[in-house]
Chain A
């Protein structure tokens, strides 16, 4: 009886010592930013097509967390008119252990311009905010339909099959239209301009006029953005 009690007391003392030592030992956590950044972006890339979408600009601003801003427009193709949704803004956030990855993209304006060589182009002016001080490793592609009529017919098939407007570039998943040979991704000309006075970064993209959307790539995260006209 007494020896069991001594044993319990001894156990309690051991537990106290172990606990005390653990509290006063520095806790080393590994930091591997490259992997964490990749994991955060991969998670966003995997979840992008299933993120909530809103066509209310107020909700886009007020919401916290991942959301896609869309605009509903009607397109007419071969005598049929049907609605499609254009993705025009993103609020993306994902934290992985030591790292917070946040990306804000919003198509500010979109207009036709002439390039230096005289070619026509669509100029996207995109507001960009990025949580990391290093500039993102950006690539921008324009999705050019091989046959616009065929491309919009394919969108109509999706609209008819689902009974809801498809989102250009995002539905059914990113790159689906390229995989079945409807669009080609061509490198778009782009420039990233940082305004130190306002702290705002603007991404200018010149895309060929028939392109329904551009793809902003921060590998492996690929984000379609359409022209809200």
Chain B
């Protein structure tokens, strides 16, 4: 009677014998034979190496040639004739008899490169020209789900704008007042970027100069038009500012405009050679104010005097005259983003012009 346990015992003894016999073959230890196939994939261990010949590639184990293939490619690049390479383990893909070899591991597909662009984070900044002030559109994304935070600080480090939104995020940052701002786009740990936003009015002028405070000098030989930039005072919260414009200390007081992007006082002198005892009248023959408001640049008349005739132009259009026949418009509204103004005098050496352009830039 043969019982189940006898079969088990016999099988166990047979297996023991097989294991003992198998262990007597040290050459077989850890070495895998090379299969011959035309389209297959396998992994070789035990010290194989490849030599490329003129019309075939040989796989060697020690000095014994184990298999031949049409050509050998290593990580996508073909071996040169006579070239030798080897690694352990070696991953081999055979396609139409050509061996594609990689040493880096069998995980992942062997045919096809990764070509899709994928950045850990991307930030696009653009300017929306249809909005007043400087409106930046910030398009930001990170390649995993995260919350993107955006902070904008002004020159004094005050937080003027903050927002957060899950990636992908689009922020609309409106900078209402000209200045230099620092923008922080933050999505830890991937994205931590600082940008500088420059919202400003660029001025190109002839026979004119720009000041950010009082200027009481007599500069008639070179400067007929003094442009006083008041934007910074309004940003610092002043309710009104008094600007001194000539050697006698003549001044004009302006109150803070509401919602202005930039604000300028323009003081012009019409006479290049008038006697110096007239200093109290210098630079006040035409006094105008130029304010960039949300609805566009506004050019307003403040004061006129003088013995010579004047003409005031805005965007090439005559808007105001003094001691002459012509229009007397106290206010001119231009359109964003640029306005040009021009003062013309009987003394043509004092003619001055200036172009104000709103510029929104970043870097």
The interface of chain A, by Cβ under 8 A from chain B, is: 3-4, 6-7, 9-11, 13-14, 16-17, 20-21, 24-33, 54, 56-59, 61-64, 91, 93, 95-102, 104, 129-133
Report the nearest B residue to A32, measured CB to CB: B39
Which residues of chain A come closer than 8 Å to B120, judged between CB atoms? 62
Interface contact tally, CB-CB below 8 A: 158
Q: Which of B16, B37, B109 contacts A99 (CB 8 A)?
A: B109
Contacts of A14 in B (CB 8 A): 11-12, 15
Which residues of chain B from 3 to 17 have any CB-CB distance to chain A below 8 Å in the complex?
A: 4-5, 8-9, 11-13, 15-16
In Å, the complex CA distance between A95 and B108 comes to 8
Instruction: Tell me whether A129 and B142 are in contact (CB under 8 A).
Output: no
The answer to whether A27 touches B8 (Cβ under 8 A) is no
Taking a contact as CB atoms under 8 Å apart, the answer to whether A3 and B9 are in contact is yes
A17-B15, A59-B167, A102-B115 are known contacts. Are A11 and B40 too (CB-CB below 8 A)?
no
Q: Pick the residue among A11, A91, A132 that contacts B111 (CB under 8 A).
A: A132
Pick the contact of B94 from A17, A20, A31 — CB < 8 Å?
Answer: A31
- Within the complex, the shortest CB–CB distance from A85 to chain B, in Å, comes to 16
Residues A25 and B32 in contact, CB atoms below 8 Å apart: yes
CB neighbours (8 Å) of A24 from chain B are 28, 30, 32
Cβ contacts A to B, 17 pairs, < 8 Å: A7-B9, A10-B16, A24-B30, A28-B37, A29-B40, A31-B41, A56-B170, A58-B122, A59-B141, A62-B122, A63-B143, A91-B118, A98-B109, A99-B110, A99-B112, A102-B116, A104-B115
Chain A contact residues: helix, strand, loop or mixed: mixed
Q: Does B233 sit at the interface, judged by CB under 8 A?
A: no
B74 lies within 8 A of chain A by Cβ: no
Report A98 CB to chain B, min CB distance, Å: 5
Interface residue B154 (Cβ < 8 Å from any Cβ of A): no
CB proximity of A138 to chain B, nearest CB, Å: 16
With A57-B124, A98-B41 already in contact, the answer to whether A62 and B141 are too (CB < 8 A) is: yes
Nearest chain A CB to B78 CB, angstrom units: 12
